[in-house]
Structure 1
Amino acid sequence: MADGVIRDEGEGDTARGLTYPFARVPGAGERIEVAPGVVWLRLPLPMALNHINLYALEDGEGWTLVDTGLFTPVSVEIWEGLLTGALQGRPIQRVICTHMHPDHIGMAGWLCERSGAPLLMSRLEYVTGRMLVADTGRPAPESGRTFYRAAGWTEDQLVGWGRDYGSFGRVVSPMPDAYHRLTEGDVLSIGGQDWEVVVGQGHSPEHVCLWRRSDGVFIGGDQILPKISSNVSVWPTEPLSDPLGDWMTSLQDLQARLPDDLLVLPSHGEPFRGVQTRLAALLRGHGQALARLERRLESPMRAVDAFASLFARPVGDGLRGMATGEAVAHLNYLERQGRATRRRDAEGVDWWQATDAPVSRANDDNGE
């Protein structure tokens, strides 16, 4: 369940109004200093979203690392080179993970074991990561089949999901058995500079961002990305959750507190300025998607039928799980707002309809 690209906004309207101060991106094994004491690193990812940005913060005689990449042979090789090359063989003092997705925590255990450095995360991210890693090797639960069947998956797709179940832990090195908890408002002294912990929700349960107020540097993780919208999904473990509501509330909170002149260091894409423009665009984009979806809910539809309302590109097999999660997130949000209802038919499939839509015989035809 690494991050993937579904909502690729390219250079369209929602990506305008941002400036990118760096002419190039770091290659494998390279570093670019983006602010005093802040080094930008990049690792490849074997998916449509083909990279993750990592940051190394000067911390006394060593470094504090922010995010780690997937645990793969390629990542191990690149990290071996980074530790002795770009990071000059200086010790790792701390490893911070913004959230629990595999491209962020995958190498954390490897780095902590190698260096003896502690892992710092929020509690919900650490516990959720440990839980998902523990699923590896377990048989797929029936609750998951129920969830995806309700969303409109075929029996063949359910079989494929069961076969691939537990893939999360296959790209995550064994996580440390202990961690240091980060909470909203904590202030970390790193290299004699104060970094404030800012917590967001929606993309993940308790996502950590880091803000150096002294010169306006903001490590945004996946909470604020410049050209894509982070995946916001409902998963089988919490099928009635409202992560889109959490996401939009978090974006509104960030709008209220962040100055526009920040240098935002994202996990994907390039460092940018124009955070207020970007936050407004993200909120506007989800609002427009919700409006399109609500219009199409005049007739009953399944979650998989909502893809066309939410995504500009076709959804292939590799992205079906995230696309389904995001579709259910938008439908759950509309249900919480009293703007949509669902009915489960005799085959276990949920049919959604706008609350102000005319009553249709489609429900009867689907076994209700």
Structure 2
Amino acid sequence: MTSTLEYPFDTLPPTGETCEVAPGVHWIRMPLPFALNHINLWLIEDGDGVVIVDTGYGLDASQEAWNTILAGLGRPVTRIIVTHCHPDHLGLAQWLSEKTGAPVTMTLGEFLGGHALWNQLPGYNTSAMITQFRQHGLDEERCIALANRGNAYKRGVPSLPACYDRVIDGDSLEIGQRSWKVIVGHGHSPEHMSLHCESAGLLISGDMLLPRISTNVSVFAATPDDDPLGRFLDSIRTFKQLPVATLVLPSHGSPFRNIGLRVDQLIEHHDDRCAELLAACTVPRCAGELLTTLFPRELDTHQVMFAMGEAIAHLNHLARKREVCRSVESDGIVRFIKSHQ
């Protein structure tokens, strides 16, 4: 294993254009209205048609880019695959399905997760999230900012598919006479789908494996004591079984090789985060107090949502490993303190 990640592509595809990364597989890059300002989408040639993998955030600019790309294809769309339910991936799936007539393929967890967020179901709505964050010590000013922001999910996902083709872990999708194996991962979203094509040496990793940033892992109000970080780490370890020469096609950043090294880097990153939190918990501390330990930079409201979810996830992981004890104080705040071992 080499000691660095390898990036075989020096240039990025302009918005509305595609770049071939392997025979019959094309890279699309579209804008996002956040600090993380882009998402990678993929086209896979499917005989006389083409399969879309992920769809982009519900922006006019993304729809315009898709209109340009679809007009230049000269072939029908046969399937729309959604790796997971987050807005930059699911956002334009229904719009594209209506436009092309192609069915949407995803896992059950992501289909239901998207509907839970879009419809603001109990445990997945804004008020439940803010209640959870207050219980973990987030200051009132930031809680009010999140409340004023409202249902941001629905802005990125203007409409949702009412039906879909379901896949589960281990399924194979036949696309263009090649087999793509479904690898379901957990922690970032309910049942995130990555796709591995052994014959082509490709992994469409979605958000489960990113080259330069760490994937967000958050605790939802519906499952307050869950350990999504443990699930995420278990999931990415399975990628180490893939050949080292595998070209990883991530949702953010550039395609890269040396998959095992990246998995090791991410595990070390989260181990370091947990160690920092453990060192800070010699006295009872809440997630709100520990935000600056994990994220010393200034955070906007969008980033605060992810940061709080991630802080709780790391603390829950330490609690699951019995390295910290969790308690609810008389003020109703959830706090964590290093265990006596």
Of the three residues 270, 291, 307, the one matched with 1:307 is 291
Instruction: Indicate whether 1:323 and 2:307 are aligned.
Output: yes
Of the three residues 120, 130, 140, the one matched with 2:105 is 120
1:344 — aligned with what? 328
The amino acid of 1:35's aligned partner reads: A
**Equivalent-residue separation in structure 2 for 1:323 and 1:250 (angstroms):** 21
1:43 — aligned with what? 30
Alpha carbons 1:110, 1:174 under 8 Å: kept: yes
Instruction: Indicate whether 1:149 and 2:141 are aligned.
Output: no
1:17 — aligned with what? 4
1:263 — aligned with what? 247
Corresponding residue SS for 2:102: coil
Corresponding residue SS for 2:34: coil
**Equivalent-residue separation in structure 1 for 2:329 and 2:321 (angstroms):** 23
Query: 1:141 Cα shift?
Result: 6.4
Corresponding residue SS for 1:103: helix
Of the three residues 182, 186, 200, the one matched with 2:167 is 182
Corresponding residue SS for 2:231: helix
Alpha carbons 2:146, 2:301 under 8 Å: kept: no
Q: Percent of aligned pairs with the same residue?
A: 41
Question: So what's the TM-score if we normalise by structure 2?
Answer: 0.95
**Equivalent-residue separation in structure 2 for 1:217 and 1:254 (angstroms):** 12
Listed as ranges, the matches of 1:1-368 within 5 Å are 17-85=4-72, 88-135=73-120, 143-255=128-240, 257-311=241-295, 313-356=297-340
Alpha carbons 2:126, 2:151 under 8 Å: kept: no
Query: 1:142 Cα shift?
Result: 5.3
The amino acid of 1:314's aligned partner reads: E
**Equivalent-residue separation in structure 2 for 1:186 and 1:273 (angstroms):** 24
Corresponding residue SS for 1:99: coil
The amino acid of 1:335's aligned partner reads: A
The amino acid of 2:77's aligned partner reads: I
Q: Is the deviation greater in 317-326 or in 343-352? A: 343-352
Query: 1:154 Cα shift?
Result: 2.4
Corresponding residue SS for 2:9: coil
What 5-or-longer segments of structure 2 have no aligned partner? Answer: none
**Equivalent-residue separation in structure 2 for 1:170 and 1:232 (angstroms):** 22
Alpha carbons 1:203, 1:233 under 8 Å: kept: yes
Corresponding residue SS for 1:82: helix
**Equivalent-residue separation in structure 1 for 2:308 and 2:93 (angstroms):** 29
Corresponding residue SS for 1:335: helix
* Cα distance per residue 1:200-243 (max 9 Å; x no partner): 11111111011110121110000110000000011222211110
**Equivalent-residue separation in structure 2 for 1:164 and 1:236 (angstroms):** 18
The amino acid of 1:291's aligned partner reads: A
Alpha carbons 2:139, 2:288 under 8 Å: kept: no
The amino acid of 1:63's aligned partner reads: V
The amino acid of 2:280's aligned partner reads: R
**Equivalent-residue separation in structure 1 for 2:201 and 2:143 (angstroms):** 47
* Cα distance per residue 1:260-318 (max 9 Å; x no partner): 11000000000001101100100011011111111111122110222233235333333
Alpha carbons 1:98, 1:104 under 8 Å: kept: yes
Change (3 A) 1:36 1:312: farther
Give the paired residue count.
339
